[in-house]
Amino acid sequence: MMRKVSLIVLSAAAGAALTLFVTQPRSVLMGSSARAATSDTYRQLNLFGDVFERVRTDYVEKPDDSKLVESAISGMLTGLDPHSSYMDAKSFRDMQVQTRGEFGGLGIEVTMEDGLVKVVSPIDDTPASKAGILANDIITNLDDEAVQGLTLNQAVDKMRGPIGTKIKLKIIRKGQDNPIDVTLVRDNIRVRSVRSRTESDDIAYIRITTFNEQTTEGLKKSVSDLQSQIGDKLKGYIIDLRNNPGGLLEEAVTVSDAFLDRGEIVSTRGRNAEETQRRSAHPGDLAKGKPVIILVNGGSASASEIVAGALQDHKRATLIGTRSFGKGSVQTIIPLGSGNGALRLTTARYYTPSGRSIQAKGIVPDIEVLQDVPDELKSRTDTKGEASLRGHLRNGNDEKTGSQSYVPPDAKNDKALKMAEDLLRGVKINASSPPASNKAAIEKPANKAAN
């Protein structure tokens, strides 16, 4: 029987997944050593059973059996590495929503302030924007239930729901004497993982915040819109991946493919040689040969590093900023059946086209640019990276940790962005600057041993 699982690249902090592939069951030849190992395993399982039964009968209060089992599974997985874990049914559903980038809701970006939900901004053309919800509005009640006392996630869960259903919000707005009651009808909301703008009328700036199912589509739309706005004056593209924690492997591949005509994008290698997979680019360059610069920093992880590594190895882009996070592993999502959640299991490492593993090392930019950090933030602007995580997959003796992740809120103070603009306009010249077209893909080494 064939088993469907989901292949993804997770962010350093939280993950996402639903790119399905099919795996064949492995055949097993049972030798004497295997039988001995199996026997030892059964002894350990008997030990677990003894402990489980003793806790059930002798613990000071009657425990919940299902919670005991979940905790045992969770402990087993988190003991493997920082990115393997057990997700209960709710966590699994939340992860699916996150990676789809699409859900039934209101279209409001929110944060928590003083125990109340504050609107960061309404998303264009959604129930919230159509109803006149404004940035800085404070939501105090949801369907007559006070928000005070709820966590941000709990409040967001209440605002989401089936498309076509109603919810009433009580809002406090600066300048209004009385609270405002607004009834909204939930609609299909798409999370914007790609935002774009023009820089001084001749450079296309594209910010990718995560890699969900909407990312490649959003990238293509942004490129098309920017090409129409800028026209023949277009000098090149700045792709901002700073503090992007990652997401779907498939989206990282298709985003990379958008700027490459040919060549390998990434390879994934598991414990067994037959599990090695290679992903390659297809003809067609979305940027039409224009130079590409990628901004990275200590918060650029996982899928972001796949894109940065592929375009750097193929000399299709110049990387500017600080060393990336260094998460070079792939997680597989294994559903456990209705109501039982799923396993998030590290099953492979990934390698850039030249065969390098960035696990616990990160990607070093072609041009390092350190930002000027305000004194009050200096102790909080460095990301320790994968190599600092307890139980991380080891990668030789030259692991790297600690990299700046601060991005100035005002673009005029952003030194990395300024450097990128100067390179594209020819104000500054660097040997790592991308060529005018992607004519020559790198030559792959003849032998690449799986690690």
Q: Which of 137, 261, 313, 366 is catalytic?
A: 313
Q: Does the annotation count 405 as an active-site position?
A: no
Tokens for 229, please give them: 């706005």
Q: Are 213 and 102 in contact (CB under 8 A)?
A: yes
Q: Which of 6, 302, 357, 433 is catalytic?
A: 302
Contact predicate 127/187, CB 8 Å: yes
Cα(329)–Cα(324) distance, integer angstroms: 14
**Which two structure tokens, joined as six digits, stand for 25?**
């069951």
Q: Which of 146, 116, 132, 123 is nearest to 183 (CA)?
A: 132
Q: Which of 278, 253, 259 has its CA nearest to residue 354?
A: 278
**Is 71 in the active site?**
no
Pairing status of strand 85-87 against strand 342-351: antiparallel
Q: How far apart are CA 292 and CA 206, in angstroms?
A: 11
Cα separation of 73 and 69, whole Å? 6
- Would residue 4 show up in a list of annotated catalytic residues for this protein? no
Distance CA 406, CA 371 (A): 7
**DSSP SS3 for 241:** coil
Which residue type sits at 320?
A: I
Catalytic member of 327, 357, 400, 414: 327
- The DSSP secondary structure of 9-77, one letter per residue, reads B--SS------EEEEPPPP----HHHHHHHHHHHHHHHHHHHHHHHHHHHSSSPPPHHHHHHHHHHHHH
Please name the residues in contact with 21: beta carbons below 8 A apart, sequence gap of 6 or more.
4, 5, 7
Q: Residue 310, SS3?
A: helix
| Dihedral sign computed on CA atoms, order 130, 132, 138, 141 | negative
* Region at 39 (left for phi over 0; alpha for psi -120 to 50; beta for the rest): alpha
Computed over its alpha carbons, how large is the radius of gyration of the chain? 24
| Residue type present at position 21 | F
CA dist., res. 220 & res. 254, Å (int): 11
Q: Yes or no: say if 110 and 101 are a contact pair by the CB < 8 Å rule.
A: no
Q: Which residues are catalytic?
A: 302, 313, 327
